[in-house]
């Protein structure tokens, strides 16, 4: 439940929303986050955070950044975070221009970065640098600790991709966080798309190599679409998957369970000594978290430990 945040200068590798989340949390003060539902151990950890400079690195340019426009703009809303973009990092080739013309979100991100690059640097205490055209090549260490990050300067090749220039820079940082991608693991007995790291599907229905639906088998989340989109996209996927599952149930296309009555689930869990909570139990847990937050004027305080959650929910 603890994590040392001793570094005053930190590098974050990646230019997606996860990288922004990491950078934002490291750059904000703990008191800014206190109105949220963070538990006490998280608040204490962030209160001890010594980071004053956060450096976010991307190997390509502004047009290729995977930030969503709203997530990016929110960085600048904090009274303690000064977002800084080097004007020399604002560069586009034919491929980048085509990306901006064909993708409204990419164009909005690029415009936001351009505006930040031409403004004067303010006096907000925490500096958050967004670096482009810097490809990480080596984490520099001494006595088992990070003492720097080495990057190679890159240049656009006309297509929106980049090549190395042979020009290297050593950045003074004491911690490195990696946020450059995610790949799901293959699940046994399920078809698999090796390139995308997803289970092939149509509307959430798992599809075998023959093109047939694998009976009673459905997917949603990143195992379905990969690590892209926001929570809203994933919720839309889940709605579609569940709708198709219910339609298949109504048409009699699901496996018939040996014990279809709802009580059989409770009985099976009890037989296997699995502790579980119900919808009513969730409401009890919800009330307990709100009660913890009330004395502090907060909406709630999250209960972290599994045993504590099970106890409060009456599992």
The CATH number linked to 122 is 3.50.50.60
More confident position, 247 or 228? 247
Do the beta carbons of residue 78 and residue 128 sit within 8 Å? Answer: no
Per-residue confidence (pLDDT) for residue 2, from 0 to 100: 82
* Cβ burial, residue 176 (10 Å; 0-12/13-18/19+): buried
Q: Which domain holds residue 278?
A: 263-313
Give the mean pLDDT of 301-313.
94
Tell me which of 178, 200, 231 is where a domain ends. 178
Looking at the structure, do residues 26 and 132 belong to the same domain, yes or no? yes
Both 107 and 56 in one domain: the answer is yes
**Average pLDDT for residues 196-217, to the nearest whole number?**
95
Give the end of a domain, one of 126, 143, 178. 178
Same domain for 307 and 208, yes or no, is: no
Same-domain status, 213 and 299? no
Q: pLDDT, tens digit, for every residue of 243-264? A: 999 999 999 999 888 898 989 9
Total number of domains in the chain: 3
Question: Rounded to whole angstroms, how far apart are CA atoms 308 and 120?
Answer: 49
Mean pLDDT (whole number) for 75-83: 94
Is the Cβ–Cβ distance between 107 and 92 less than 8 Å? no
Indicate if 132 and 150 belong to the same structural domain.
yes
Q: Name the phi and psi angles at 57, rounded to 5.
A: -115, 135
- The whole-model pTM stands at 0.83
Determine, yes or no, domain membership for 1.
Answer: no
**Does one domain contain both 20 and 117?**
yes
Q: What is the mean pLDDT of residues 282-304?
A: 94
4 found inside a domain: no
Helical axes 279-293 vs 306-313, angle rounded to 10°: 110
Quick check: is 233 in a domain? yes
- Residue 228, pLDDT > 90, answer no
Whether the pLDDT of residue 66 is over 80: the answer is yes
pLDDT of residue 16: 92
158: tokens are: 């006309």
DSSP string spanning the chain?
-------SEEEEE--SHHHHHHHHHHHS-HHHHTTS---HHHHHHHHT----EEEEE-SS-GGG----HHHHHHGGG-TTEEEEE-GGG----HHHHHHHHH-HHHHHHHHHHHHHHHSPP---SEEEEEE-SEEEEEEEEETTEEEEEEEEEEEE-SSS-EEEEEEEEEE--SEEEE-S---PPPPTTS--BTTTTB--EETTEEE-TTS-EEEEEE--THHHH-S-S-HHHHHHHHHHHHHHHHHHHHTT-SPPPSS-STHHHHHHHHHTT-----HHHHHHHHHHHHHHHGGGT-S------HHHHHHHHT-
Q: Give the per-residue pLDDT at 37.
A: 86
Confidence label for 36 from pLDDT (cuts 50, 70 and 90) = confident
Whether 174 and 278 map to the same domain: the answer is no
Per-residue pLDDT, 260: 87
Portion of the chain with pLDDT greater than 70, in percent: 100
The stretch 230-236 carries a mean pLDDT of 84
pLDDT value, residue 256: 85
Q: Quick check: 231 pLDDT over 90?
A: no
The mean pLDDT value for 64-68 works out to 94
Instruction: Specify the pLDDT at position 30.
Output: 94
Tens-digit pLDDT profile for residues 132-151: 999 999 999 999 999 999 99
The whole-angstrom separation of Cα 311 and Cα 181 is: 36
| C-beta of residue 275 within 8 angstroms of C-beta of residue 11 | no
Give a yes or no: residue 14 inside a domain: yes
Same domain, 132 and 148: yes
Identify the pLDDT of residue 181: 79
- Report d(CA 240, CA 233) in Å as an integer: 11
Integer angstrom CA distances of residue 293 from 34, 37, 38, 102:
11, 8, 10, 46
Question: Within this chain, do residues 114 and 225 fall inside the same structural domain, yes or no?
Answer: no
Which of 230, 256, 282 is a domain's end point?
256
pLDDT computed for residue 46 by the predictor: 95
19 in the same domain as 167: yes
φ and ψ at 17, to 5 degrees?
Answer: -65, -30
Average pLDDT for residues 224-238, to the nearest whole number?
85
41 lies in the same domain as 149: yes
| Pick from 12, 5, 27, 21: nearest CA to 171 | 12
Residues 6+ apart with CB under 8 A from 296: none
One domain for residues 37 and 168? yes
What distance in Å separates the CA atoms of residue 230 and residue 208, rounded to the nearest whole number?
Answer: 27
- With respect to residue 198, please indicate whether it lies within any of the assigned structural domains: yes
Domain membership flag for residue 2: no
């Amino acid at each position: 439940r603890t994590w040392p945040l001793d570094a005053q200068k930190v590098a974050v590798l990646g230019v997606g929303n996860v990288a922004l989340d990491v950078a934002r949390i490291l750059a904000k003060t703990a008191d800014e986050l206190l109105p949220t539902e963070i538990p006490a151990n998280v608040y204490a950890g962030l209160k001890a955070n010594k980071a004053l400079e956060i450096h976010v690195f991307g190997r390509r340019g502004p047009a290729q950044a995977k930030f969503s426009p709203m997530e990016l703009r929110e960085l600048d809303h904090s009274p303690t975070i000064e977002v800084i973009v080097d004007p020399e990092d604002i560069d586009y080739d034919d491929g980048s221009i085509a990306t901006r013309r064909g993708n409204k979100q990419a164009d909005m991100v690029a415009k936001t970065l351009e505006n930040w690059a031409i403004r004067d640097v303010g006096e907000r205490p925490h500096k958050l640098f967004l670096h482009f055209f810097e490809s990480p090549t080596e984490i520099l260490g001494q006595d088992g600790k990070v003492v720097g990050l080495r990057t190679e300067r890159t240049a656009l090749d006309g297509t929106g991709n980049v090549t190395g220039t042979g020009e290297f820079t050593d950045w003074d940082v004491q911690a490195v966080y990696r946020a450059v991608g995610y790949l799901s693991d293959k699940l046994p007995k399920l078809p698999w798309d090796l390139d995308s790291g997803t289970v092939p599907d149509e509307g959430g229905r798992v599809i075998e190599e023959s093109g047939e639906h694998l009976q009673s088998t459905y997917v949603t989340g990143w195992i379905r679409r990969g690590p892209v989109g926001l929570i809203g996209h994933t919720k839309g996927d889940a709605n579609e998957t569940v709708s198709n599952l219910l339609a298949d149930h109504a048409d009699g296309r699901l496996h018939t369970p040996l014990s279809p009555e709802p009580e059989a689930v409770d009985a099976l869990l009890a037989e296997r000594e699995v502790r579980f909570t119900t919808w009513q139990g969730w409401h009890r847990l919800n009330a307990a978290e709100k009660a913890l937050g009330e004395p502090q004027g907060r909406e709630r305080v999250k209960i972290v430990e599994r045993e504590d959650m099970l106890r409060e929910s009456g599992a």
